[in-house]
Chain A
Amino acid sequence: MKYLDEYRDGKIASRIVEEIRRIQTRPWVIMEVCGGQTHSIVKNGVDYLLPRGIELVHGPGCPVCVTPLEMIDKAHAIARRPDVIFCSFGDMLRVPGSEGDLFTIKSEGGDVRIVYSPLDCLKIARANPDKKVVFFAVGFETTAPANAMLVSRAKQDGVHNVSILVSHVLVPPSIAAILQSPQNRVQGFLGPGHVCAIMGYREYEPMSARFKVPIVITGFEPLDILQGTLMVVRQLEEGRAEVENEYSRILDREGNRPAQKLVASVFEIADRKWRGVGSIPKSGYKLRWEYRDYDAEKIFSVKEIDTREPEICISGRILRGIKKPHDCPAFGTICTPQHPLGATMVSAEGACAAYYAYGRHLESKREELEAMASLGGAA
């Protein structure tokens, strides 16, 4: 928790907050989509700086969180095989499946390796020709170009002992799913900056027009989030619904064309299941037929695994902005980052884990913190 005058750019932050206060005539609910933004908001207490009536709710943009339990279990089944070297980004190792996590499998003798880049898997595959190297390809649009390059290079270079377990999800269909829900409360969105660095923001324009909802592509620093919030509130107050770009110092409308091109040649759009939310049509990627020999789900015919999430967990409603972490009786009691019950507690970028890490399970402190933040603003 920071007070306004502690921000590096405290004066600018104060001015933005004042401007929101000046133009706001009624309450608004705004969702930040990206897990990096959620983490920044909760760590820096950005939501406490905003005028009362501007509510930030936390979206589904944490890839670790929304990877379905069935897929985690599939990953574990493959990682347990003695002929496999299973590679993953570090944040997937701690995510519990139905039985243990990848760390457990590693401690029991499985060859599980944390890699920095998907391209590391090519080196590992070349160094271990007698093993099958599998990469857990989890992520949003930002990560897809890296995974596409791994598969594309493997095919071009004739490296046959590498494959990827694909659990790729896309931001725009998840926003559409939230807006189509009869329970939806969200009136404006802070769009994901680094996702749009790859994809640009063209594809958000028809959605903004169709649902009459402002979408402002926003960075993850506290000032970005305040500025993005101001831009959304201004649109809402003026009755506009457009896509605007707060993060123009990083990205433009077109995004990264070479990356988009390679992604489109390796992956095609597919229905995907989201943990806590369920299946969303056309909401992810699968490998194109030409790359089927690199599809770990086809190579290792892992049977469908029947999983069940704890009934008490409300992570699905949190991911859609209907509930907040402290609306859940399990939050911070039987559900903690050490023993997560559901999607939003499994990664630091999940709303529940972020709230827990920054002491928000002690919500009796909330009033006190809000009061201090507003004092800081006046200083």
Chain B
Amino acid sequence: MNNETYTEEATLDTGAPRPEVAAGPKPAGAPATSPNHVMETRNMSIYYGDFRAVADVSLGFARNEISALIGPSGCGKSTVLRSLNRMNDLIASARTEGEVHYHGTNIYADGIDPVRVRRTIGMVFQKPNPFPKTIYDNIAWGAKINGYRGSKANIDDLVQEALEGAALWDEVKDKLQESGYSLSGGQQQRLCIARAIATKPDVILMDEPCSALDPIATLRIEELMLELKRDYSIVIVTHNMQQAARVSDKTAFFNVKLNETGMRTGRLVEYSPTEQLFTSPNEKDTEDYITGRFG
């Protein structure tokens, strides 16, 4: 009646709130190269001067999927995101160790120009930041500075395409010459998305894109993300777990721990399909975080 042998597929021990087996740290994510991955990080650590902000992250992002990075403040998820298009280079003291592969090429290798990297890996920021220009110029500028050769009519088409792709065309098609600042917050963020996709990137990085927006605007952007993933691969940082649950295909949970020297370093704890991570996560830390039992 007890302890009979039985076959089991993967027995997954979960952290239930009652006395449980302590779950040991498991290697999170798959470090092996997968042909379906558009980007991969391999043992990446990021330092600000001597301070190790993020340690040993190995993650793979699949094509045409939305991957979410979640975790408490200070866990380094934004830092990891910014390393994917070398925006950390703009911070003087930032240093990246390990590799970040884009279609098999390490973007941190010597001789790789970060300007090139950023053209194919675009970014949308937390607070909408359109340029103080007209709506039209906001979108056309990115293309022009990258050497767009088309005529005025071509640029008009490009602007319309980008705005349609960002679900903003109908709302602004009659006021393209007005300032970008004349739009509401949610519209401005969609303008920033349109601006990012105007340069025809491959990957779009979004750093808490909805945290400055009201719930309706947030939902519209989430809908937009689900449409965009047909053509782009998206990585999003969010502190809203429900948003990660709604839009992402896979979710990575980062946690920050004090180590021996008193430094708070962020680490990747778990990287799983979203549905699994939010109903039965592998790691106790993840379980504690998503149920709010986190300190």
Do A and B form a real pair? Answer: no
User: A interface vs B, CB < 8 Å?
Assistant: none
User: B interface vs A, CB < 8 Å?
Assistant: none
